[in-house]
Amino acid sequence: MVDKISVTVQVDLDGKYGRIVATGCLTGAGQRALHPLIRRARALTPGTHVVVDIRGAHLMEPAGVDLLRRAVAQDGAVELALPDPLSAHLPTPVDRTPVVADGPAAPGRRARTAA
């Protein structure tokens, strides 16, 4: 899977309201692409209210959401729109327990891989 984020910026005609819509994968690295867009949207006119809408993202890494929350929290005129429930968009944990044909690998015993 390719971890890409797609962004659309919507601004009303008088520049008082901006909406940044992000879809795709929101990763820890990918969320950084939103920061300059947020700054530019805020700089349009004094008092511009910006909403960063990530409800359309199909996958969100917890680190990406946390870093974006922190960045948005630094500016009171920026709002973060999250999906409800957020847990439906987070990756499912992967069980990385090595397994052998007759059960989990015992200490000192190597796991066999399927051919």
Q: Which distant-in-sequence residues (6+ apart) come within 8 Å of 93 by Cβ? A: none
The answer on pLDDT for 70 being more than 70 is yes
The answer on pLDDT for 100 being more than 80 is no
Greater model confidence, 46 or 104: 46
CATH, domain range 5-88: 3.30.750.24
pLDDT digits (tens, 9 = 90+) for 41-68: 888 888 889 999 999 988 888 899 999 9
What mean pLDDT is reported for the chain? Answer: 79
The answer on pLDDT for 21 being more than 90 is yes
What is the predicted pLDDT for the residue at 36?
92
Helix, strand, coil percentages in the chain from 3-state DSSP, rounded to 5:
25, 30, 45
Strands 78-81 and 49-60 come out as parallel
